[in-house]
Amino acid sequence: MLNWGYAYTSIIGSESHGQTLLTHLAGLYAHSTAQAWQQSLSNGEVTLDGVVATGSEAVAAGQTLVWKRPPWIEPEAPEHFEALFDDAHLLAVNKPSGLPTLPGGGFLENTLLRLVQKQFPNANPVHRLGRGTSGIVLFAKTAQAASNLTATWNTPKIQKIYRALAQNIAELDSYEILTPIGLVPHPRLGTVWAASASGKPCKSLAKVISRTTTDTTNAGTTTFEVSLYSGRPHQIRIHLASIGHPLVGDPLYGVNGQPLENLPGLPGDGGYLLHAQFLRFEHPVSGEQIELEADLPEGFSSHR
């Protein structure tokens, strides 16, 4: 089923001043070739300062570029969520794996945001989970709730605990992981978040829940409970990989928390088990202590 299409708007930066519009588009939206962009231009999909563009124009810093992407068929995604908490200021839901939190990567309508806002029009997510990650997503319904939660989200006032299924048997029962995370170069992706000595400091605490050996390999798996004390992109996936325990089925990160050179799929693909299981925080308006739990998905049943 086709969605409604979308208008992508950007402002020309000084670094692009003087480039032809076609060159700028091919660099800005690298998912399409210059030839494909020329076809979009010929179809009248692109405007520069409100004027339909041909592609040969020299762009100038400060101009407004709009690409009116025609409707497209989005990748399939789950079309359900479970409400865990609901009052005048907050909504907490249990997101299934495979459903993006926000639009992006070819998804526009098939997102948790769109599903939630059909029932709760004023709800906006305070944070996001990766498409492959399941579990608790917290939404604010009022400006006061959004402001207060945003101010405290990555502080000890918000306790976030995840369940993760990782490769290899853990030697220790717990790990304090302080691996810095930053952007690193990648031959296919350009840059990607990963373990980086020059990255920003962050902290996770991983406790072993269970260990499972397999008949086919000696590697086995370990189920971890991970508490977050910071909020870097892909933090749990990177941190567990950095101590030799990448998530089982992770299409992006390998041992040492570095991105795989030969990716088995797209970076946003799922296939791994990571679940935001517990969330404890003070209600941003009433001050009440809130404790939420999202039931584990089926994949964890044999790895408890």
Tens-digit pLDDT string for the chain (304 aa): 788 898 999 999 999 999 999 999 998 887 789 999 999 999 999 999 999 999 999 999 999 999 999 999 998 899 999 999 999 999 999 999 999 999 987 888 899 999 999 999 999 999 999 999 999 999 999 999 999 999 999 888 999 999 999 999 999 999 999 999 999 988 877 788 999 999 999 999 999 999 998 755 567 999 999 999 988 999 999 999 999 999 999 999 998 999 988 876 666 667 899 999 999 999 999 999 999 999 999 878 655 4
Q: What is the DSSP letter of 77?
A: -
Q: What's the count of helices (H) and strands (E) in the chain, helices before strands?
A: 5, 16
Output the pLDDT for position 299.
78
For the chain, the structural domain boundaries read 6-69, 158-272
Q: Distance between CA 275 and CA 179 in Å, rounded?
A: 21
Are 182 and 196 contacting, i.e. CB atoms less than 8 angstroms apart?
yes
Amino acid identity at 1? M
Are 100 and 110 contacting, i.e. CB atoms less than 8 angstroms apart?
yes
Right CATH number for 6-69 from 3.90.1280.10, 3.40.47.10, 3.10.290.10, 3.90.1150.150? 3.10.290.10
Output the pLDDT for position 226.
98
Output the pLDDT for position 266.
63
Q: Which superfamily does 158-272 belong to?
A: Pseudouridine synthase (3.30.2350.10)
Q: What backbone phi and psi angles, to 5 degrees, belong to 102?
A: -125, 160
Paired tokens of 124: 């906006």
- Whole-model pTM? 0.84
In the block, tokens 């490769």 appear at 167
Topology alike, domains 6-69 and 158-272? no
Q: Is 284 exposed, middle or buried (0-12, 13-18, 19+ CB in 10 A)?
A: buried
